[in-house]
A = this chain, B = another copy of it.
Amino acid sequence: LFSQIDHFGFDESGTFQQRYLVADQHWKKDNGPILFYTGNEGDIEWFCNNTGFMWDVAEELNAMLVFAEHRYYGESLPFGNESFSDSKHLNYLTSEQALVDFAVLVEYLKATTAGAQHSPVIAIGGSYGGMLAAWFRMKYPHVVVGALAASAPIWQFGDLVPCGTFFSIVSNDFKKSGTGCSESIRNSWNAINHLSSTDAGLQWLSNTFHLCSPLKTLQDAAVLKNWLSETWVNLAMVNYPYKADFLQPLPAWPIQEVCKFLKDPSLSDKLLLQNVFQAVNLYYNYTGETPCLDVSQTATKSLGEMGWYYQACTEMVMPLCTDGVHDMFEPQKWDFDALSEECYSMWGVRPRLSWILSMYGGKNISSHSNIIFSNGGLDPWSAGGVTQNISNSLVAVVIPDGAHHLDLRSRNPLDPKSVQQARAMEICLMKEWIEKARHSH
Contacts and interface: CB of A to CB of B under 8 A. Distances in A.
Interface of A: 4, 7-13, 87-88, 90-92, 94, 96-97, 100, 103-104, 107, 139-143, 314, 348-350, 352, 355, 358-359, 361-362, 364-370, 440
Q: What copy number does this chain have within its complex? A: 2
Given A139-B139, A141-B367, A142-B361, 20 more contacts: A4-B352, A9-B92, A10-B87, A10-B94, A10-B314, A10-B349, A10-B352, A11-B87, A11-B91, A11-B348, A11-B349, A12-B91, A13-B350, A103-B358, A141-B368, A142-B362, A142-B367, A143-B361, A367-B369, A367-B370
Contact of A358 (B13, B100, B314, B352): B100
Contact of A91 (B10, B88, B365, B370): B10
Nearest to A370: B367
Nearest to A145: B367
B9 A91 contact: yes
With most chain B CB atoms within 10 A of its CB, the pick from A104, A107, A142 is A142
Contacts of A96: 8
B92 A365 contact: no
A164 B130 CA distance: 44
Nearest to A104: B358
20 contacts: A8-B94, A8-B96, A8-B97, A9-B92, A9-B94, A10-B87, A10-B91, A10-B350, A10-B352, A11-B91, A11-B349, A12-B91, A13-B349, A100-B358, A141-B361, A141-B367, A142-B361, A142-B362, A143-B361, A367-B369
A352 B104 CA distance: 13
A251 B255 CA distance: 82
Contacts of A361: 140-143
Contacts of A348: 11
Contacts of A368: 141
A427 B8 CA distance: 35
A87 B10 CA distance: 8
Contacts of A9: 8, 91-92, 94
Nearest to A314: B10
A369 B365 CA distance: 13
Nearest to A9: B91
Nearest to A310: B10
A142 B365 contact: yes
A107 B354 CA distance: 11
Contacts of A90: 10-11
A214 B73 CA distance: 60
